[in-house]
Chain A
């Protein structure tokens, strides 16, 4: 039999029994609708979770849990002391190429430093790696009454860390304008123009002008009491600071640029803002929140009434961007800022005087955030991390992923059950159709159809029906998804990580939905088709 002819014949057959077949197909269509909808929902949610909440490619390398302190204070391990540091460089001198094997063998590190960052960056699995340093002292932020039109300033305990500014995408004016137009998920800029993310203290003139009010300084620059931690950076210029409680001079200091996470933005929009009646930060109003400054009391905590041992420092923090690289709940400052204040609080006594202690090294990090190139390489990278003696921060991403997989699996299973039951319905309908077409089968046999031809005609008919059902189920699934997205976007109030779309229809899903439609309809028609082929032509031709 010729394919074109079969299709022609089959098309005519379907349109002849269209009503019957439509009723029989309802189950298949519903099943495939459910299949495409549930599966695309599972995939869409996985995308949100893996892309935004727990990025699949993000691994945070941390020191071993038993040795948390070591991340801050450098305590060399026994076997590393036996080994000269220069051994780890292939050409025997610092800043040369690291010999990984040697480093691994003799230098099981207990702390994360630039060398570890460098080793991780050289791994073939790694796309990017940047170090993070947590603030190891408490801090309280205060402000926002102007931006939020409040009577009193907001006051909150904040958690902070520092990251290397070079790991951020700092956008110029044009890029910033373009980026603001993008949906949140695909926004690329970490820092928006005209702001910059850097440690101004490192480059500013140590002999800043003395001021009395911020008006004496430029834009974004504030007149503040001398930063005792900054003095620590330039001990030569300020050798005799002495007791820091006696501050007589004020200097012009640039506000410390900080980033907040997209997560915090989601939390603000989804929970904090609605609960307290504060304005939400949307695409259009983001600009007004950028540049917002707030006073931060470093070394002060709202959680404890216990007096701080080291006198707190007041600094201005300025919001300069919203970044995925920022700490989820808190603010992220330039790395050297974190290093400097950690240093300061770790080495001072109550009077603010320098303790006679080994100073922790600025480049001892609390974690290294790694982005791997592909999912497959995660295992080998983690093995490397383990070999180095480190571990990874548990994000619960795997558990969440499993839960999503499990729920999606159940829903897909249910839709399969629907389709299987529907296939039985298809079988019934075809048994009926075949007894209706009994004579026709006889005629076709008389004209020259063999058993296989009869079987093929019915199976081809079921396949075409299944194709149509699959396409219809898919179209309905897609329409439902579009509608649900619309509802989420326009009707449901903001919630954290409210996605642009909760569904994902990859090509394989589209194809497999249609294939399942074909497969189950053919499956349903299988027995009837065999039965039809078995009828003796002489009997099929008997008058009814």
Chain B
């Protein structure tokens, strides 16, 4: 178990906001085919929050996550992530924000099939600005993989792993650089309920023990129930913010 990093205590005490969206509008297409996907979305997420985003298909969940994750900058409004205004960052700074502050987990795992597990996990080190020694890159990858019970899969190709294992590798990759925020798009969508539950437990521990802010898109109730708060999107609008009482720590 990793000991609690100092910022966990700090954030829990302060309830400081880490993500804030103000009047975000998002359109797809132009001219007659122009379609508004997000309508005046305003949202605040604090340090250490464990939040689920629910809503019907096409309601704009992925679009919202892409904006928060700095993957999509073509929107109106303001989006501040970890104190940085996303739309004002240049390509390099935005890439660094994704590299250092954010982690992504996708429904379809999105592992690089031609790289081994540890190489997949260590990939974000490749894009870090400073020159990290090779041995350090490797040992960090092993450390994260071992934490998720994948010590025997370090040199395996992703093709030889089960769905649950693949998703754990993907999570390990997202956590490699010790991000503050983990953004997950249907992380249990391709998993059976048993392995899905394992992933939920994993997320819980990441949130509780490491103080990572989690934003999880899901359509599964058991996932949304596990979170502190559920944001319900409908047609690009927040229809309810069902804040449950945070569990006793």
Contacts and interface: CB of A to CB of B under 8 A. Distances in A.
Given A444-B123, A537-B72, 5 more contacts: A445-B95, A447-B124, A448-B99, A448-B124, A448-B177
Interface stretch (A2-10, A307-315, A325-333, A473-481): A2-10
Contacts of B92: 450, 452
A161 to B, nearest CB: 73
Residue of B91, B127, B137 with highest tally of chain A CB at under 10 A:
B127
B144 to A, nearest CB: 14
Given A440-B112, A453-B95, A536 B72 contact: yes
A445 B72 CA distance: 11
Q: 5 closest A-B pairs (Cβ-Cβ)?
A: A448-B99, A450-B95, A538-B72, A448-B127, A538-B66
Contacts of B115: 12
A443 B96 contact: no
A538 B127 contact: no
A460 to B, nearest CB: 12
Contacts of A439: 110
B34 interface: no
Contact of A444 (B66, B108, B127, B128): B127
A94 to B, nearest CB: 78
B71 interface: yes
A2 B131 contact: yes
Interface string B108-134: 101010110000000111111001101
Interface residues of B, number: 32
A443 B110 contact: yes
Contacts of A442: 71, 110
Nearest to B96: A448
Nearest to B99: A448
12 contacts: A1-B126, A13-B114, A16-B114, A439-B110, A443-B123, A445-B95, A448-B96, A448-B124, A451-B95, A536-B71, A537-B71, A537-B72
A509 interface: no
Nearest to A533: B91
Interface string B191-220: 000000000000000000000000000000
Interface in A286-327: none
Contact of A447 (B114, B127, B131): B127
Nearest to A537: B71
Interface string A439-473: 11011111111111100000000000000000000
A4 B95 contact: no
Given A4-B134, A537-B71, A449 B112 contact: no
A439 B134 CA distance: 26
A543 interface: yes
A8 B94 CA distance: 25
A538 B98 contact: no
Interface string A500-544: 000000000000000000000000000000000000111001010
B8 to A, nearest CB: 23
Interface in A9-32: 9, 12-13, 15-16
Interface string B85-108: 000000110111011100010101
Residue of B106, B112, B134, B177 with highest tally of chain A CB at under 10 A:
B112
B140 to A, nearest CB: 14
A12 B116 CA distance: 11
Nearest to B97: A448
Contacts of B96: 448, 450
A2 B124 contact: no
A250 to B, nearest CB: 94
B173 interface: yes
